[in-house]
Structure 1
Amino acid sequence: MNKPAPISQQIWDMKYRLKTADGHPVDKTMADSLTRVAHALAAPEADPTYWQQKFFEAMDDFRLLPAGRILAGAGAGRKGTLFNCFVMGDIPDDMTGIFEHLKEAA
């Protein structure tokens, strides 16, 4: 892995680096984060060891750029979604319609 720019390092530390509840880093390096994500992505495959290496290499070469929630959450052992966006139909401009859509999204 090439040495990242300082701004890249800062964003990784603030948003994607796995940390304990009290803020201590679990991922010591960006490569640790990529390994964590690659391991999680490869887990359902028939040959996870092979695919973990392939996923890691693709991310390290910037041929695979997972969305932010995936980088932050995959392999983190936390409950939460890895979806980065949601698609909903038209929301009526009234309280009933707004709350019905909120209920649907919950």
Structure 2
Amino acid sequence: MSRFTAPIAEQIWDMKYRLKEADGAAVDRTVEDTWRRIARSLAEVEAEPNVWEERFYGALEDFKYLPAGRITAG
């Protein structure tokens, strides 16, 4: 079951925001992997990274918060 409500949204995630290797192989298998990667990166600078990773993930989950494309792509 996909978290995306429209096929075009999933295509855009795949083309622009899904982490891939140089050869095009997907690193992020699902959008949840993308949310987790972003949450983990954001939390790295916090005093309690594990706590903040979960908070950041909760904000990203189900598209409740959509960071700017540059943040997601980076």
Q: What TM-score does the superposition give when structure 1 sets the normalisation length?
A: 0.64
C-alpha separation in 2, matches of 1:42 and 1:7: 30
Instruction: Give structure 1 regions of 4+ aligned residues with deviation exceeding 2 angstroms.
Output: 61-64
Question: How many corresponding residue pairs?
Answer: 73
* Match of residue 58 from structure 1: 59
* Match of residue 14 from structure 1: 15
Q: Is the 8 A contact 2:3 2:62 kept in 1?
A: no
Give the match's secondary structure for 1:57: helix
- What's the % identity of the aligned pairs? 56
Gaps of 5+ in 2: none
Superposed, which structure 2 residues align to 1:64-79 within 5 Å? 64-73=65-74
The amino acid that maps onto 2:49 is: P
Closer, same or farther: CA 61–28 of 1 in aligned 2, 3 Å: closer
The amino acid that maps onto 1:60 is: E
Superposed, which structure 2 residues align to 1:1-106 within 5 Å? 3-4=3-4, 5-73=6-74
Q: What TM-score does the superposition give when structure 2 sets the normalisation length?
A: 0.89
Say what the alpha-carbon RMSD is for the aligned residues.
Answer: 1.6
